[in-house]
Amino acid sequence: MDKPSPPFDPKDFRRALGMFATGVTIVTTCSDDGTQVGVTANSFNSVSLDPPMVLWSLANNARSLPVFSTSQDWNVHILSNAQEALSNRFARSGEDKFAGLSLEKSISKAPLLPGCSARFQCRTAFQYEGGDHTIFVGEVLQYDSSSLPPLLYVKGGYALAAPMAGPVSTESQANLEGASYSENLLGYLFGRAHFQFVHGLRGTLQARQLSDTDFFVLSLLSVRQPLTTDEIAAHIAYTGVDLASGALQSMVQRGLLLEHVGDATQLRLSPAGSDAILHVLAAAKAVESDLVQRMGELESAGLRNLLKQAILATDPGLPKLWQAPVHF
Amino acid sequence: MDKPSPPFDPKDFRRALGMFATGVTIVTTCSDDGTQVGVTANSFNSVSLDPPMVLWSLANNARSLPVFSTSQDWNVHILSNAQEALSNRFARSGEDKFAGLSLEKSISKAPLLPGCSARFQCRTAFQYEGGDHTIFVGEVLQYDSSSLPPLLYVKGGYALAAPMAGPVSTESQANLEGASYSENLLGYLFGRAHFQFVHGLRGTLQARQLSDTDFFVLSLLSVRQPLTTDEIAAHIAYTGVDLASGALQSMVQRGLLLEHVGDATQLRLSPAGSDAILHVLAAAKAVESDLVQRMGELESAGLRNLLKQAILATDPGLPKLWQAPVHF
């Protein structure tokens, strides 16, 4: 590790500081003339429990510094992982940052934003010199928090936190003449997670005499329809389902799909098909809710995030499912 | 969200503050008599670029406060994800925290620890009052950083950062008369990850004329054999595979499995079956390696952990696959 001496290259110094992960906050206040002000800051931290105090710092050349310096009241919002766009909005200058936001009632005139992981309503206790920044230490007068997973900022980009889990069964590993496979193989974990999830829908699928193929086709058409048989195949061939064996024709015969014969035959859900997939999706949402409740919101959000990365990394070039607007 | 007013319940206030994610640091110094001192702190933050300054705060009742107050020089270590034990060691009091650690050369007498994500060697610029804590603002005299992923602390526990993934397709969401399903449904993400992974094996499976059912049965027996038909069913029925339709008998006829007829018929891999699954598992490992390389080691480890949590949360009571020792 090189050890630069002052004066430091600001970009490299900033990069080294970026190794310290932080949450992301928006700090808001209101000027005497009623102008609402807000900035994105990750320089927040807790300071004191008794009295309850937090701090953050603001650049001395920030346009909002005079307002924060004179106004005594400000609100710190710890952003949730769904508020990346809000973070970006308040990090820019110039526009009306509060346009279109529904604000909540605050104990002061400072704007209070919804949808956060936690919020602290503060009054300045100390204002300290800190080089090219001013450090604001505030006494917390009121606070609240939610279970929404927080947004993170680390190494110059947004991130999610992923807590650690224990083993599924045991850590031992099987060996077969040199080849080995263990519960740590992502391929095994994907399959087991998938089939256990579908297992939770099995009763609903069987009650309606739906095969896995029926389920995949109905799900697809519930998102986008009508589709030609070729388009359906392009979307679901990667599952290994063989549509050539008359699966779609069987679904038409059983009244699940409606066929529109034209240049290319197009298929859409029949009323019975719509009804069937509605019930299966309702069952899927119940399995999902139960899973999220057992795993926790933070873990679920982290898992979604990482599954998406894995899916992008293994995408065999599937057509985009949610790309176009959907009309029913 | 409830909004408590002062005096706050310290435990609940701490919990709300815990929604702000942080890195973890160890701050060290050395007393005039040469005693080395160090504490774990997550109250660190950057303050100023010009002059380069950082801050952290220490409880007024900390045993090390007198040393930090008189010594001018201290080092901040941003811990890497492999330094959880070191974090715990410096969070406790009483023992010789530096025992057995190999220290590096510092510009001051303050101890410098190896293996960190970044380190900042500082001299106190300001020392400020902050309720029950003292805020230390230091000018950075030297720093260095590595590429080691940083350790995180959020919601009262250690965590790893996972960069935010972009959307798999797009963020819009389909609606079908009230029911909706989007790419954020874990059930969808499990299925897509699973089938895309198996898609990478499809060529190997087809070249050997193996169905998905064949693959599941051969994989199972590669970990544990012999098994009765009932035991095989207990392990893989949750995948929806129908073994009643003669799938196992077909595998015996095709020479993939050997049958031992006794009180209950037991099945094991034939040499041809062993050879087939060896090749498929080798292909699976290649897909896995490629995936891990594309996603990153840290992300893959995080994904494995969270998938295990999801699998434990949805386990329909499957027999433990890796529980017993395996003999071939």
Given a cut of 80, is residue A167 above it in pLDDT? Answer: no
Residue B75: the pLDDT is 98
| Percent with pLDDT over 70 in chain B | 91
Mutate to test the interface with B, among A9, A78, A128, A164 (most CBs of B within 10 A): A164
Say if residue A101 is in the same domain as residue A216. Answer: no
How does residue B2 score in pLDDT terms, banded at 50, 70 and 90? low
Whether the pLDDT of residue A223 is over 90: the answer is no
The predicted pLDDT at position B262 comes to 80
Mean pLDDT of A155-162: 85
Q: At which of B111, B141, B159 does a domain end?
A: B159
pLDDT band at A2 (very low <50, low <70, confident <90, very high): low
**Range of weakest confidence among A115-129, A177-191, A307-321, B256-270:** A177-191
B127/B55 same-domain check: yes
Q: Can you give the pLDDT at residue B176?
A: 41
- How many CB pairs lie under 8 A apart between chains A and B? 522
**pLDDT grade for A169, boundaries at 50, 70 and 90:** very low
Judge whether B112 lies within some domain: yes
Least CB–CB distance from B21: residue in A23, A278, A294: A23
Q: Is the pLDDT of residue A326 over 50?
A: no
Local confidence band at B1 (pLDDT 50, 70, 90 cut-offs): low
3-state helix vs strand vs coil in chain A, percent to 5: 35, 25, 40
Within 8 A of A19 by CB-CB distance, chain B residues are: 23, 78, 117-118, 145, 150
CB atoms within 10 A of CB B14: 14
Residue B320 carries which DSSP code?
P
User: What is the pLDDT averaged over residues A140-167?
Assistant: 84
Chain B contacts of A87, Cβ < 8 Å? none
Whether A283 and chain B come into contact, CB under 8 Å, resolves to no
Q: What is the pLDDT of residue B320?
A: 72
Look at residue A301 and give its three-state secondary structure: helix
- Tokens 């024709």 appear where? A249
Pair A89, A210 in one domain: no
Q: Given B16, B162, B299, which is nearest A143 (Cβ)?
A: B16
A311 interaction partners in chain B (CB closer than 8 Å): 168, 189, 192-193, 196
pLDDT score of B190 more than 80: yes
Last residue of a domain, one of B124, B159, B194: B159
Last residue of a domain, one of A159, A174, A204: A159
Q: Does B247 touch chain A (CB under 8 A)?
A: no
pLDDT score of A149:
87
Q: Does B234 contact A at CB distance below 8 Å?
A: no
What does DSSP assign to residue A226? S
CATH code, B191: 1.10.10.10
The candidate with the shortest Cα–Cα distance to A119, out of B164, B13, B156, is B13
pLDDT confidence of residue B318: 80
Q: Using an 8 Å CB-CB cutoff, list chain A residues near B46.
A: 17, 20, 43
Q: What is the domain range of residue B273?
A: 186-314
∠ CA(A216), CA(A218), CA(A224), 5° rounding?
A: 105
Distance from CA of A185 to the nearest CA of B (A): 7
pLDDT digits (tens, 9 = 90+) for A268-300: 999 999 999 999 999 999 999 999 999 887 788
Residues A144 and A206 in one domain: no
| Tokens encoding A80 | 């949730």
Is the model's pLDDT at B297 over the cut of 80?
no
A134 and A54 housed in the same domain:
yes
**CATH number, domain with residue B55:** 2.30.110.10
Residues 132-191 (B) with a CB less than 8 A from some CB of A: 132-133, 135, 137, 139-146, 150, 152, 154-155, 157-187, 189-191
Under the banding of pLDDT at 50, 70 and 90, the label for residue A146 is very high
Are A258 and A217 contained in the same domain?
yes
CB contact under 8 A, A1 and B146: yes
Q: Does B317 touch chain A (CB under 8 A)?
A: no
Q: Identify the pLDDT of residue A170.
A: 36
Is B222 in Cβ contact with A176 (below 8 Å)? Answer: yes
- Looking at the fold, whether A14 and A153 belong to one and the same domain comes out as yes
Predicted local confidence at residue B158, as pLDDT: 87
Q: Given pLDDT bands bounded at 50, 70 and 90, which one contains residue A322?
A: low
pLDDT tens digits, one per residue of A49-96: 999 999 999 999 999 999 999 999 999 999 998 899 999 999 988 778
pLDDT per position as a tens digit, B28-74: 999 999 999 999 999 999 999 999 999 999 999 999 999 999 999 99
Beta strands in B208-276 (DSSP E): 227-228, 257-260, 266-269
Nearest to B176 among A45, A278, A321 (CB): A278
**Mean pLDDT lowest among A18-32, B53-67, B171-185, B229-243:** B171-185
Same domain for A154 and A239? no
A118 in contact with B, Cβ within 8 Å = yes
Do A196 and A143 share a structural domain? no
* Overall average pLDDT of the A235-246 stretch: 86
Q: What is the pLDDT of residues B207-244, one digit of tens each?
A: 999 999 999 999 999 988 999 999 999 998 888 888 88
End-to-end CA distance of chain B: 58
Query: Higher pLDDT residue, A303 or A178?
Result: A303
- B177 band by pLDDT with thresholds 50, 70 and 90: very low
Would residue A178 count as lying in a domain?
no
User: Quick check: is A324 in a domain?
Assistant: no
Q: Is B321 inside a domain boundary?
A: no
Q: Into how many domains does chain A fold?
A: 2
In a domain, A86, yes or no: yes
* pLDDT tops 70 at residue A176: no
| Chain A residues whose beta carbon lies within 8 Å of the beta carbon of residue B143 | 3-4, 8, 13, 16
Whether the CB of B192 is below 8 Å from some CB of chain A: the reply is: yes
Among B270, B303, B320, which would you mutate to test the A interface (most chain A Cβ atoms within 10 Å of its Cβ)?
A: B303
Are B16 and B118 members of one domain? Answer: yes
Could you tell me if A147 and A39 lie in one domain? yes
Judge if B53 and B106 occupy the same domain: yes
pLDDT at position B65: 96
> Average of pLDDT values for B108-134?
97
| CB nearest A307 (choices: B178, B189, B199) | B189
What pLDDT does A213 receive?
Answer: 92
pLDDT computed for residue B93 by the predictor: 80
* Average pLDDT score, chain A: 88
Give the Cα-Cα-Cα angle A217, A218, A220 (nearest 5 degrees).
Answer: 65
| More confident call, B124 vs A172 | B124
The per-residue pLDDT for A300 is: 86
Cα B204 to Cα A270: distance, rounded to the nearest angstrom: 38
The answer to whether residue B316 scores a pLDDT higher than 90 is: no
Instruction: Let me know if residue B322 belongs to a domain.
Output: no
DSSP readout, B32-91?
Answer: TT--EEEEEES--EEEETTTTEEEEEEETT-TTHHHHHH--EEEEEE-BTT-HHHHHHHH
Per-chain mean pLDDT for chain B: 88
- Which residues in chain A touch residue B57, judged by CB atoms under 8 angstroms apart? 45, 47-48, 55
Asked if B302 reaches chain A (Cβ–Cβ under 8 Å), the answer is yes
- Whether B20 and A308 lie within 8 Å, measured CB to CB: no
Is the pLDDT at B184 greater than 90, yes or no?
A: no
Residue A63: predicted pLDDT: 93
pLDDT of B322: 58
Given a cut of 80, is residue B182 above it in pLDDT? no
Instruction: Please state, as a whole number, how many other Cβ atoms lie within 10 Å of the Cβ of residue B272.
Output: 14
Q: Give how far A253 is from chain B: nearest CA, Å.
A: 23
Q: Is residue B4 domain-resident?
A: no
* Least confident piece of the model among A32-46, A141-155, A176-190: A176-190
Residue A218 lies in a domain: yes
Measure A139 CA to nearest chain B CA, in Å.
Answer: 9
